[in-house]
Amino acid sequence: MKRRLARPRGTRDFLPGAMAKRRFAELRFRNVAERWGYGEIATPAFEPLDLFTIKSGEAIKDEIYSFTDRGGRALALRPELTAPVMRVYANELQSAPKPLKFYYFGDCFRYERPQSGRYRQFWQFGVELIGSERPEADAEVIALAQHMLRSLGLEAKIHVGSLDVLRAVFCELDDETCALAMRLIDKGDFDRLQELPHGDTAISIIEAPDPLSEAQSVASIDHLLQVLELLDTLAIAYDVDFGIARGLEYYTGIVFEAYAHDLGAQNQVLGGGAYRLAHLFGGDDVPATGFGIGFDRIMRAVTVHGEEPPRIIVVPTKDARIYALGIADELRAHVSTDVDVMGRTVRAQLTYANSASFDFAVIIGKSEMQTSKLTLRNLRTGEQESLCVQEIIDRVLSYT
């Protein structure tokens, strides 16, 4: 066997069919974001390694693609996009008028064990609203998240919680125990959580029929209540869920997630919250709210199929090959058009047209060249008619 280069572990190739689906979803997301007044932002594929260790701690070095360049700089392929966006803010946008609203779509890289819905190169679509910590800002971002999912026909309810409550419950504990508690909650491991101090309190709040009133007894949840009221106004369906832990210390209050069913262990398709990060990167202590959508997981959860536009193949006889190129050019100005590049006979060209699922063949031979009336063959029905180029274009474009 020939020597073959394998695709790097945890990466994927996307063939045209898959890409059409991905582009379709991407376009929907972009349209929604733009209609909500968010502008696209793009950042480098690699950044200083520090950008990510400052945000997430030294431990993430193990899960990151990092390298030293020839100038001795410690760099990393981006494992996520929130930190880069906040770096941009800290670098050059601190005095821009607030709020700032950005969306992004890009690939990220993590050095992890690949498994279902988890790859080493994966795509994130996300949104950041920078400059406000008011309930209106949080509600807008959550509503936007819901509209994004809806744009692909996903009616996943967004789970909304507040870290204020869990933090109030565990405030007396040392950092380590508190972090453990957060992790157990995130995993839903209530058995082990129960053994921690105040674990039972947390469980009773999370599992209460009316978690809001339970939570009210341990912390002020006015902000959350206001957000929820706004979501009601915006007709956004949500579940109050104080079991959303997101243990990272930069989250400031509201947190939310969305899940897709039947996706196995990696079923979280969206996650976000209110946070403060810019000051870690040398900026001011600006508040922000954002979320990231796991694009690849969304693609597994959703079935999208764009309308396939009609496709023409120009089928010339041997004598008409040159002439046919000119015709193809005219057709291409309006319709997807192919011409044979294999030197095939008419019969073989039509065989190919059939197996490649073309909709129409434009057959051109001596008689067509003389009369300028081309033969349009509907490959589905076998019907043929004699038409000029413009008539062909009209006929094909009106075909559904």
Partner RNA sequence: GCCGAGGUGGGGUAGCAUGGUAAUCCUAUGGCCCUGUGGAGGCCACGACGCGGGUUCGAAUCUCGCCCUCGGCCCCA
Tokens of 396: 């094909």
How much helix, strand and coil, in percent to the nearest 5, is found in the chain? Answer: 40, 20, 35
Q: Is 128 in the site for RNA (CB under 7 A)?
A: no
Contacts of 250 (CB under 8 A, 6+ apart): 55, 275, 276, 277, 280
Q: List the interface residues with RNA, window 256-285 (CB under 7 A).
A: 264-266, 271
Nearer to RNA, 31 or 345 (CB): 345
Q: Is 388 in the site for RNA (CB under 7 A)?
A: no
Task: Tell how many helices (H) and how many strands (E) occur in the chain.
Answer: 15, 16
Cα separation of 114 and 343, whole Å?
44
Which residue in the block uniquely carries the two structure tokens 């950041």? Answer: 128
Nearer to RNA, 99 or 290 (CB): 290
Q: Is 115 in the site for RNA (CB under 7 A)?
A: yes
Q: Is 387 in the site for RNA (CB under 7 A)?
A: no
CB atoms < 10 A from the CB of 62, how many?
Answer: 9
Q: Is 341 in the site for RNA (CB under 7 A)?
A: no
Q: Is 223 in the site for RNA (CB under 7 A)?
A: no
Nearer to RNA, 230 or 324 (CB): 324
Nearer to RNA, 71 or 343 (CB): 343
Q: Is 211 in the site for RNA (CB under 7 A)?
A: no
Contacts of 26 (CB under 8 A, 6+ apart): 105, 125, 295
Cα separation of 134 and 147, whole Å?
20
- From 23-31, 84-92, 194-202, 376-384, span contacting RNA (CB under 7 A): 376-384
Tokens of 251: 């989250």
Q: How far is the CB of 27 from RNA (least distance, A)?
A: 26
Cα separation of 88 and 125, whole Å?
17
What is the DSSP code string of 151-206? HTT--PPEEEEEHHHHHHHTTTS-HHHHHHHHHHHHHT-HHHHHTSTTHHHHHHHH
Q: Is 48 in the site for RNA (CB under 7 A)?
A: no
CB atoms < 10 A from the CB of 81, how many?
Answer: 23
Nearer to RNA, 28 or 102 (CB): 102
Cα separation of 284 and 42, whole Å?
21
Q: How far is the CB of 234 from RNA (least distance, A)?
A: 26
Q: How far is CA 361 from CA 68, 140, 185, 353, in A?
A: 55, 51, 61, 8
Nearer to RNA, 136 or 186 (CB): 186
Nearer to RNA, 216 or 266 (CB): 266
Interface mask (CB under 7 A) for RNA, residues 59-98, using x and -?
-x--xx--------------xx-xx---------------
- From 28-36, 91-99, 278-286, 367-375, span contacting RNA (CB under 7 A): 367-375
Q: Is 55 in the site for RNA (CB under 7 A)?
A: yes
Q: Is 345 in the site for RNA (CB under 7 A)?
A: yes
Which residue in the block uniquely carries the two structure tokens 């041997």? Answer: 318
Q: Is 186 in the site for RNA (CB under 7 A)?
A: yes
- From 23-31, 141-149, 179-187, 392-400, span contacting RNA (CB under 7 A): 179-187
CB atoms < 10 A from the CB of 181, how many?
Answer: 23
Q: How far is the CB of 184 from RNA (least distance, A)?
A: 9
Q: Which residues bind RNA (CB under 7 A)?
A: 1, 6, 9-10, 52, 55-56, 60, 63-64, 79-80, 82-83, 110, 112-117, 183, 186-187, 246-248, 264-266, 271, 317-318, 342-348, 350-355, 363-368, 375, 377-382, 384
